[in-house]
Structure 1
Amino acid sequence: MRLSPQVLEAVRQEAQRYFRSARGSHGWDHTERVYRLCLRIGRKEKADLDVLRLAALLHDIGREEEDLSNGRTCHAEKGAVLADKILRKHGIGAERIARVVRCIKPHRYRGRLVPDSLEGRILFDADKLDSIGAVGIGRAFLFAGEVGARLHDPEIDVRKTKAYTKEDTAYREFLVKLSQVKGRMFTAEGKRIAGDRHKFMADFFRRLNKETAGAL
């Protein structure tokens, strides 16, 4: 049975409430971009678009708790629990709820779980694609500002620095995580998009290193 526009809109509005005090780097606009990427990839992969719509809208509703705990709480696992409750309240069937939860729970990049459904792999890809390319660069600097990090340190040793500190620069995030995203894609379309976004981002940080060194 197709998901009605009315139920989808009700879920969207409820999900949006979880972002009222969200950090800009992980605000509601991130969810909207992931939603659009999910549909783009989902159509290519012939996935269940209704499951993807719900999973995309709800995938980060546990993010606030992770931010407040400085990463100690897993937002994916928390979000899966919250999503189950929201979907039950809106009359979504148990089988569809299970499929949505199955997407949300393993979508975290540093999580211990691996997505094992087509829709879960698409959500994972869409979420990670929003962390690279031009958007990813903007988000990385925005997050660095949120935690009080410095602008740039081309000599940073990631082994001696920690997340959520003044050394957690955009460049550190690129070295630790963002440069690896391209190789983590599951879907063919995700890999294609990631290749282009990765090149743009890598070129940017190479130029940033040259500019800060006074070479350009």
Structure 2
Amino acid sequence: MEAALQLAKIKAYVFSCFTDDPTGHDYYHMERVARMARMIANKEGAEPFICEAAAWLHDIGDEKLFHDSIKSLNEMDAFLHSIDFTKSDIKEIRQIMRNVSFRKGRIPTTMEGKVVQDADRLDAIGAIGIARTFAYGGAKGQPIFHETSKHTSIQHFYDKLLKLKGLLHTETAQEIANERHQFMERYLEQFYNEW
């Protein structure tokens, strides 16, 4: 099966998994990460097809989003096999997915893994990142801000978002991150002024 058809089938599969997600991990998040991964891969000399495929699939099996993460990953493997992905391609995609999460603190060992992790992290910062932070907080019943609580959406900026610029691997992602990081800093300043 040709690569373009495989990617089209992956998009449809991902749409079926994430179309109703209210946490900021929806189909359009996967689409933005996949588009960014392909662009970074092309600029940085990574394999664009594997980067894009892994980026589309990167949140499958995430414990925050799936009740049975092992079952969802096994279903993904069977799906990829059904559209002619080789065992080695599936293994590489799974490895990229395993290392993408900020929470797990892993550093990818391949260029493709670094590209997908960078693409995912870029979608967590800037205007989209701010929107996703509040979408996730709202979906999980988390307050926007509370002066005596660390379990708020605003605290998430300090726990994760403001750290991401310094954790990117590729020059391409670092350049994109600068403007998005500055926007978040301006946003927080305005937020506190209004609060």
| 8 Å contact kept, 1:15–1:57 | yes
CA deviations over 1:143-169 (Å, ceiling 9, x no partner): 12112222323x3453xxxxxxxxx32
Q: Which letter does structure 1 place at the counterpart of 2:64?
A: E
The 2-side partners of 1:47 and 1:36 are apart by: 14
In the alignment, what sits opposite 2:125?
132
Residues paired across the two proteins, number: 195
**Aligned in 2, Cα 1:132/1:53: closer, same or farther, shift over 3 Å?**
same
In the alignment, what sits opposite 2:79?
86
- Over aligned residue pairs, what C-alpha RMSD do you find? 2.2
Task: Report how far residue 135 of structure 1 moved.
Answer: 0.5
Task: Report how far residue 24 of structure 1 moved.
Answer: 4.0
Task: Report how far residue 49 of structure 1 moved.
Answer: 0.8
| 8 Å contact kept, 2:3–2:49 | no
**Aligned in 2, Cα 1:80/1:117: closer, same or farther, shift over 3 Å?**
farther
| 8 Å contact kept, 1:61–1:82 | no
The 2-side partners of 1:204 and 1:40 are apart by: 27
Task: Report how far residue 97 of structure 1 moved.
Answer: 2.0
The structure with more radius of gyration: 1
Q: Which letter does structure 2 place at the counterpart of 1:66?
A: K
Q: Does 1:191 align with 2:170?
A: no
| 8 Å contact kept, 1:58–1:79 | no
Q: Does 1:39 align with 2:41?
A: no
1:1-216 matches, within 5 Å, as 3-63=2-62, 65-67=63-65, 81-153=74-146, 155-158=147-150, 168-212=151-195
The 2-side partners of 1:79 and 1:184 are apart by: 29
**Aligned in 2, Cα 1:156/1:186: closer, same or farther, shift over 3 Å?**
farther
User: What 5-or-longer segments of structure 2 have no aligned partner?
Assistant: none
TM-score (norm 2): 0.89
Task: Report how far residue 180 of structure 1 moved.
Answer: 0.7
| 8 Å contact kept, 2:66–2:72 | no
CA deviations over 1:172-211 (Å, ceiling 9, x no partner): 1101111111111011111111121111001101110111
The 2-side partners of 1:205 and 1:79 are apart by: 37
Task: Report how far residue 59 of structure 1 moved.
Answer: 0.8
| 8 Å contact kept, 1:3–1:50 | no
The 1-side partners of 2:178 and 2:36 are apart by: 15
Q: Which letter does structure 2 place at the counterpart of 1:139?
A: R
TM-score (norm 1): 0.81
Residue 191 of structure 2 aligns to a residue whose secondary structure is helix
Task: Report how far residue 40 of structure 1 moved.
Answer: 1.5
